[in-house]
Amino acid sequence: MMRKVKNNIIAITKDVLGNILVTLRPQKVKELSKKGLTLELGDNLSLSERLMRRAFLKKVGKAEDYDKLSQLHKTYWTKQGDDFVNHTQNKLANTNLPAYKSILEVLNKQVTDGSIKFNKLVEIGTGNGSVLNYLSSEFLSIDHFVGIDLSSEQTIINKETYNNNSKLDFVAGDVLEWIEHQEKGDMVFLTFRGVLEYFTQRQLADFFKKLNDLGNIIFFAIEPTDSNHNYEEHPGSKVYGFEASFSHNHKKLFEEAGFNIWHTGQKEEPWHPHIMRIIGAKNF
């Protein structure tokens, strides 16, 4: 009980100080916003900047300015995505990917069980490309693997790192724009541990509808959600957590776009405070 009271006092103090700093230093807030505010990694932010970041994200979320919030996240991943990879690639290789190999096999079985020959697997938010590279060695029925990432710097690194794997292709850009220029075809889409959480509900609804018109599509989403998100009481998306990202009702969004749900699951990670939900959807 005392610990909870202490934590509440600390949180309130941070909010008060952060709001004061945001009011007194609007130019600094603009500078931080231009770099993105999604995460604190290492010593990339000073104490005052951390307080301002916290207060500003809360302010935008409370105002329900979801487009602005999504743009802040996009800016972060565009400009600092390579920095995130530098800080997390060891954990991805040694902890995250091993923990999900059996779950990824569920997708592989779905891809190979039917009569449809899928010509491409697209990983949105591919990061350092290690998940995509692993899939290219396991999903033997697919010949072409595309990793899309907002970070141009990381995309260049990935092309150099995996230049000996002819199955892989890395693209720098926004998948919401990339999809507009794709020809019809049978494709598999994947997000691994946190990508769709940075899109607004409206963006996801539009994206899923466009995918549905593209061909035979399988989508496998592994996404964090708010552990307190009750879909019956709150069927829409909501802002949550330290990053002020979006907890989505993926099942509802897929079904409204014309997809059928073929797999649902969830995984609690001891190193992650929220629930990782696994949703498999297809439109055939």
Is the CB of residue 115 less than 8 Å from the CB of residue 76? Answer: no
pLDDT tens for residues 194-219?
Answer: 999 999 999 999 999 999 999 999 99
The per-residue pLDDT of the chain, averaged, comes to 95
Here the tokens at position 234 are 């709150």
Provide the residue type at 120 as one letter. K
- Asked if the model's pLDDT at residue 136 lies above 90, the reply is yes
Q: Alpha-carbon distance 271 to 284, whole Å?
A: 36
**What pLDDT, in 10s, does the model give residues 50-65?**
999 999 999 999 999 9
The tens digit of pLDDT for each residue in 137-194 reads: 999 999 999 999 999 999 999 999 999 999 999 999 999 999 999 999 999 999 999 9
Six-digit token string for 246: 């979006």
CA–CA separation, 81 and 198 (whole Å): 13
Q: Which domains does the chain have, with CATH numbers?
A: 2-63 (no CATH), 87-282 (3.40.50.150)
Virtual torsion, Cα 217, 72, 94, 136, nearest 10 deg: 30
